[in-house]
Amino acid sequence: MFNENIYISRRKILSNQINEGMILLPGNMPVPMNYPSNTLRFRQDSNFLYYCGLDYPNLTTVIDATNGETTLFGDDLEVDDIVWEGERVTVKKMAESAGIDHVEKNSLLPKFLSNTSKVHTLPAYRADQKSFLRSILDSQNFSSSKELIVNVIKQRSIKSKEEIYEIERALEVTAEMHKIAMKHTRDGVKEQVIVGKMEGYALERGHGMAYPAIFTIHGEILHNNAYGNKMKSGQLALNDSGSESPLHYASDITRTFPVSGSFSDTQKQVYSLVFEMQEVALAYCKPGISYKEAHLASAKKAVDGLVNMGLMRGSSDDAVSEGAHALFFPHGLGHMLGLDVHDMEGLGEDLVGYDDDSNRSNQFGLAYLRLSKDLEPGFVLTVEPGIYFIPHLIEKWKNDKKHSSFINYDALSQFKNFGGIRIEDNILITDDGYRMLGPDIPKTVDDIELLMRS
Ligand SMILES: [Mn+2]
């Protein structure tokens, strides 16, 4: 974990923003996989990590909003637990390492909270969290505190030096994972072989995965988590994967490359277009520009390129305002990145990505834009345009004659087995622009082909 002063200062900033009551931050509990004592790998709650840094199950932190005083609730292990799990640092020692003065047993939490005017909670995203909150809070109808949510988002959105260091540490490992994937991909190799090599590389270095890797010859399936296909020359492999640093900061990178090691002419054409979509988007990445603008500019670039290829027609302004590009680019340009790979999504996607001046569109495609609001120095985000040929979607739109003035459905028939291409990088918004985070990972056609040949 970080130095205790970092957690003291984060809690101080938060409690200064909240008028009265108690701020309740429950840590996570172990989650059974298939029977009670066979648990999933423990992952601490990100808000708990942010304000306390303690990476152990069954802890709760309460911050008194009026004076910032913090109490850590937890139980030391009994001998019976130690027999199975080994020794664990005492709750008192944990509290010290997080700069917390008071320690209490878990059983005292309900009584402690019953004396206060208001308990501020964050939205629960696991069933066990919901039942835990119900069990310790008197009222059956507790609801999460908008005041708390908004202030946590405000604070977590601006990344400090230490946090950027952690994200770049995750990216060091991720860069190697992606190079390993490119080097080992070839005709006849199964996707799962590559996933095993990448996860093994991360685990060997004490990192985890920030999310289940997407490694697939079906890049057109946006969140494909199956790895059973044998790859064949002529196909594209899409690799969307990122490690999580030992302090649980995420990275999120996508590269797409030819299984054979050389792009075909058509693959090169579409790939270069996605590359340009990212360049166009990056030019918008600076304080005061809304991410929606970057998204729309990238979408217009897609239309211009698809018009050149004979797959679309008409003006890119019109096509994008009507949403015709979403057949090929159905997702958003990117999202915030931090302790969570979709940072703070559990606190409410609209509160994180939108502000009073920006409402979420309900148009197909644009509706999936997770980050829309004005960019600020200290934001860390992903920039991830893509072009996909999704047979089911093409079929449906074609039958419905959807946007048929913009889309040349006849020309699309030869792209049925093309798959999809996405390129994703992680950036920090600086005072006057952006900085690309982490080491370079081959991205141009030439650099990818060079690495795959070596
Ligand atoms: Mn992403």
Helix or strand (DSSP H, E) at 174: helix 161-184
Same domain, 338 and 406: yes
Q: Which residue has the tokens 């890797």?
A: 213
pLDDT at 85: 87
CA of 87 to the centre of ligand 1 (A): 38
Same domain, 230 and 367: yes
CA of 167 to the centre of ligand 1 (A): 14
Query: What does the pLDDT profile of the chain (454 residues) look like in tens digits?
Result: 999 999 999 999 999 999 899 999 999 999 999 999 899 999 999 999 999 999 999 999 999 999 999 999 999 999 999 998 899 999 999 999 999 999 999 999 999 998 888 999 999 999 999 999 988 887 655 779 999 999 999 999 999 999 999 999 999 999 999 999 999 999 999 999 999 999 999 999 999 999 999 999 999 998 888 999 999 999 999 999 999 999 999 999 999 999 999 999 999 999 999 999 999 999 999 999 999 999 999 999 999 999 999 999 999 999 999 999 999 999 999 999 999 999 999 999 999 999 987 889 999 999 999 999 999 999 999 999 999 999 999 999 999 999 999 999 999 999 999 999 999 999 999 999 999 999 999 999 999 999 999 8
Residue 348: what residue type? G
pLDDT at 309: 97
Here the tokens at position 65 are 């909003």
Same domain, 219 and 121: no
CA of 384 to the centre of ligand 1 (A): 7
Confirm if 406 and 304 have CB atoms less than 8 A apart. Answer: no
For residue 295, count other CB atoms closer than 10 A to its CB: 25
Confirm if 435 and 428 have CB atoms less than 8 A apart. Answer: yes
Same domain, 270 and 188: yes
Here the tokens at position 347 are 């606190």
Same domain, 360 and 275: yes
Give me the residues near ligand 1 (ion), CB cutoff below 5 Å.
252, 382
CA of 242 to the centre of ligand 1 (A): 9
**Last-in-domain residue among 114, 135, 157:** 157
CA of 424 to the centre of ligand 1 (A): 7
**3-class DSSP assignment, residue 234:** coil
Here the tokens at position 286 are 């600076």
Domain of residue 248, residue span:
161-453
**Which CATH number characterizes residue 359's domain?**
3.90.230.10
pLDDT at 358: 80
pLDDT at 140: 53
Same domain, 130 and 214: no
DSSP 8-state assignment for residue 34: E
For residue 188, count other CB atoms closer than 10 A to its CB: 9
- Sign for the CA dihedral angle at 174, 179, 180, 185 comes to positive
CA of 372 to the centre of ligand 1 (A): 15
**Which CATH number characterizes residue 68's domain?**
3.40.350.10
For residue 203, count other CB atoms closer than 10 A to its CB: 13
pLDDT at 422: 98
What is the distance between the terminal CA atoms of the chain, rounded to a whole angstrom? 39
**Last-in-domain residue among 128, 157, 186:** 157
**Last-in-domain residue among 157, 178, 212:** 157
Here the tokens at position 98 are 């997080």
DSSP 8-state assignment for residue 229: P
Same domain, 189 and 226: yes
Same domain, 183 and 100: no
Q: Name 73's Cβ contacts closer than 8 Å, sequence gap at least 6.
A: 59, 60, 61, 62, 103, 104, 105, 106, 108, 109, 112
Same domain, 191 and 336: yes
Same domain, 169 and 43: no
pLDDT at 139: 63
pLDDT at 223: 87
Same domain, 153 and 200: no
Same domain, 171 and 138: no
Residue 301: what residue type? K
Q: Name 154's Cβ contacts closer than 8 Å, sequence gap at least 6.
A: 17
CA of 124 to the centre of ligand 1 (A): 23
- Number of domain units in the chain: 2
Strands (E), 50-148: 60-64, 70-73, 102-104, 119-120
Dist CA 119 CA 311 (whole Å): 56
Q: What is the dihedral of CA 293, 381, 148, 114, to 10 degrees?
A: 150
For residue 385, count other CB atoms closer than 10 A to its CB: 29
CA of 406 to the centre of ligand 1 (A): 28
pTM for this prediction? 0.96
